[in-house]
Every structure is written in C-alpha cells, then in structure tokens.
C-alpha cells in the first residue's frame, strides 16, 4: 500500500528525492519511466534547460509499449485526474494543502464538454503519509464514486502510474487534479501543444 514511486516529485522536484530513494525506485520499478529518467540523469548529468524534453522523449517511447493498454477512444476523450489516498483525510500540512477538488467545481469545467470522460487516480500513500489508512481509503472510494456519478465518467484503473501518465498525455483534453503528478502532465501537454484545463488557481 505504501509506494516509493512518486513520479511527479521525481520529475518536477528533481532534487527532492534522496539518493537512497532514487536507488529504491531502480530496485522496485526497474523498467519504469522513473527509472529511465534516473539513469538518464546519472549518465548525462542534470541540465535544467533540456530536462523536460528528455522526460517527454522517454514518456513518448514508453507509450509505444503500453498504447494497447489504453482505452481505444482515448484520443477523443476527456481525462480527469483526481488525487486520492493520503490527501483525502490525512492530517499533515502537505496533505491538507492537496485536498481533492470539489466535484461541483470539476463539473463546472466540463459544462459544454461532450467527450467520453475517463478518470484516473488511485489511493496513494508514501512513507511521509498519515497512517489513518482506513479512513483515507473509505473517503477516497466515496469521492471517486461521486465524481464518476456526477460526471458520467468511467474509472480507468490501470494500477500503474506510468500507464496513467501515458493515458493522460494521449487524451484529447486533460483536467488537472492536485499534486505534482498532475502538474507534470500539464507541463508535458503544454510542450506538445495539447489542451489542458489547469486548476492551480483553485488550490
């Protein structure tokens, strides 16, 4: 239930994760986008100017291997990311800052949207998370179901952050959720001239 794979933090806050945390990702997720990025940085050295382009190159290459796992109509669909798990009911300051967006607010963003809608997001807990897991899981499930019902959406539950990322990049329109994983998706899509609705001003 507790994962070391914090893809948004790894890419958007490149100096946040310590060396032992990076090594753990290499051990636990050897073929992941995160591991490929870690190895690329160690080989080339970190260069802010070209870092995101290298990330995009790795993501697009990874997409070739997982494209068959994505919804067939994803290129004509709207994808909404929702943050679940520790942020829903955790009591630490960094969790409280990332409470999920109100369902009515998300709904207001999509008033004129007629695309098929998919939602990505799963309960996530890191070593730094609050430990009231049962409460967080219960409230996460309730929030997710409410989102699906109100938006008439389908939950794309890949169980894999890399596949979720590729799905979000491939979609016609992306709706940002909370946290650095969502910010990463918005940044990649911006550089690829793809449409996103940013919700950072609503945080």
- Predicted confidence pLDDT, tens digits, the chain (203 residues): 688 899 999 999 888 889 999 999 999 999 999 999 999 888 866 566 678 999 999 999 999 999 999 999 999 999 999 999 999 999 999 899 889 999 999 999 999 999 999 999 999 998 889 999 999 999 999 999 999 999 999 999 999 999 999 999 999 999 999 989 999 999 999 999 999 999 975 54
Q: Record the tokens describing residue 30, joined without a space.
A: 């050897």
Tell me how far the alpha carbon of residue 171 is from its chain's centroid. Answer: 13
* Residue 49 pLDDT: 63
* Residue 16 pLDDT: 86
What are the distances in angstroms from CA 133 to CA 2, 6, 43, 122, 177?
10, 18, 38, 13, 21
* Residue 15 pLDDT: 83
Domains parsed from the chain with CATH numbers? 7-62 (no CATH), 69-202 (3.40.50)
- Predicted TM-score (pTM) of this structure: 0.93
Rounded to the nearest 10°, the torsion over CA 100, 102, 106, 109 is -130
């Amino acid at each position: 239930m507790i994962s070391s794979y914090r893809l948004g933090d790894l890419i958007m806050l490149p100096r946040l994760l310590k060396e032992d945390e990076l090594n753990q990702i290499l051990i636990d997720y050897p073929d992941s986008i995160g591991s490929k990025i870690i190895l690329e940085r160690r080989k080339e050295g970190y260069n802010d100017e070209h870092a995101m382009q290298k990330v995009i190159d790795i993501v697009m290459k990874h997409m070739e291997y997982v494209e068959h796992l994505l919804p067939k109509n994803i290129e004509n669909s709207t994808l909404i990311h929702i943050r679940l798990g520790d942020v829903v009911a955790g009591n630490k300051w960094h969790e409280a800052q990332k409470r999920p967006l109100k369902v009515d607010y998300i709904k207001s963003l999509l008033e004129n949207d007629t695309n098929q809608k998919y939602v990505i997001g799963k309960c996530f807990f890191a070593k730094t998370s609050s430990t009231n897991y049962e409460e967080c899981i219960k409230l996460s499930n309730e929030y997710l179901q409410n989102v699906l019902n109100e938006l008439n959406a389908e939950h794309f539950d890949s169980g894999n952050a890399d596949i979720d990322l590729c799905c979000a990049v491939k979609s016609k329109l992306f709706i940002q959720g909370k946290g650095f994983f969502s910010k990463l998706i918005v940044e990649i899509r911006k550089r690829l001239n793809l449409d996103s609705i940013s919700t950072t001003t609503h945080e």
